[in-house]
C-alpha cells in the first residue's frame, strides 16, 4: 500500500498540498464540459414499513415526496456540507425512489446530477442519494427504528478529462 507522501508526489491525492495540508483543488485552468453523475443508496426496512409507505399512510406524510425534495436540496447544498467541494451551478438534479421486495425489502434511491462546469458532480449525486435516504429514515423512524441505509455509491460519471466511468465496468 503506497504511503500518503508517495500518492501525493504522483498527483493521486489532489486535496493535499506538498506539505500534507488539506486544500481545495484549483480547477481554474480546466475546460468547461458537460458533467453528469449518478449515485444510489438503499434503505432496508421491515415489510410493514414498506407497506405503509406504498399505501401513503406514514404519520408524517408523503415519504417519497419529502425524500425526493431533500435529495435535490442536498445536491444543491453539497459545498456547505463537504468542506473542499467547489460550489457548482447545477443544471439538473433528479431523485428516483423504487420499492424492492425479495432478497431485501426497502427503497432504492437513485440520484442524478448534471452541470456544465470545470469539475464533476459525483459528490452532489452522493449527497443527494444520502440526504434522500436520511429523510426517508426520518419520515419512518417512528414505526421502524431498525431501518438501515446501505450501498451508498457512485454508479456512473460522465464528462471531464477522464470521460465516462461506470461501476463494474472498465471504461473511459
In a domain, 2, yes or no: no
Q: What is the mean predicted confidence (pLDDT) over 5-28?
A: 65
* 148: nearest Cα among 134, 131, 160: 134
136 lies in which domain range? 32-160
CA angle 17, 154, 74 (to 5 degrees): 85
The count of domains in the chain is 1
Please give the sequence-ordered ranges of beta strands (E in DSSP) within the chain, or none if there are none: 33-44, 90-100, 106-117, 148-158, 165-166
Q: Tens digit of pLDDT for each residue in 141-162?
A: 999 999 999 999 999 999 988 8
Q: What is the mean predicted confidence (pLDDT) over 31-55?
A: 97
State the catalytic residue, choosing from 51, 96, 138, 144: 138
In a domain, 60, yes or no: yes
Instruction: State yes or no: pLDDT of 134 exceeds 50.
Output: yes
Q: Is 57 assigned a catalytic role?
A: no
Domain of residue 85, CATH code: 3.30.70.640
Q: What is the pTM of this model?
A: 0.87
In a domain, 170, yes or no: no
Instruction: State yes or no: pLDDT of 95 exceeds 50.
Output: yes
Amino acid at each position: 500500500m503506497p504511503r500518503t507522501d508517495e500518492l501525493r508526489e504522483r498527483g493521486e491525492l489532489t486535496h493535499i498540498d506538498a506539505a500534507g495540508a488539506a486544500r481545495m483543488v484549483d480547477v481554474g485552468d480546466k475546460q468547461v464540459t458537460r458533467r453528469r453523475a449518478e449515485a444510489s443508496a438503499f434503505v432496508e426496512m421491515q415489510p410493514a414499513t414498506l407497506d405503509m409507505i406504498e399505501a401513503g399512510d406514514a404519520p408524517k406524510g408523503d415519504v417519497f415526496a419529502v425524500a425526493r425534495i431533500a435529495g435535490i436540496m442536498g445536491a444543491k447544498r453539497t459545498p456547505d456540507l463537504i468542506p473542499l467541494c467547489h460550489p457548482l451551478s447545477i443544471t439538473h438534479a433528479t431523485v428516483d425512489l423504487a420499492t424492492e421486495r425479495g432478497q431485501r425489502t426497502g427503497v432504492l434511491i437513485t440520484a442524478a446530477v448534471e452541470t456544465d462546469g470545470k469539475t464533476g458532480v459525483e459528490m452532489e449525486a452522493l449527497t443527494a442519494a444520502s440526504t434522500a435516504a436520511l429523510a426517508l429514515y426520518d419520515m419512518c423512524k417512528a414505526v421502524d427504528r431498525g431501518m438501515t441505509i446501505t450501498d451508498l455509491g457512485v454508479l456512473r460519471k460522465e464528462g471531464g478529462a477522464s470521460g465516462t466511468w461506470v461501476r463494474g465496468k472498465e471504461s473511459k
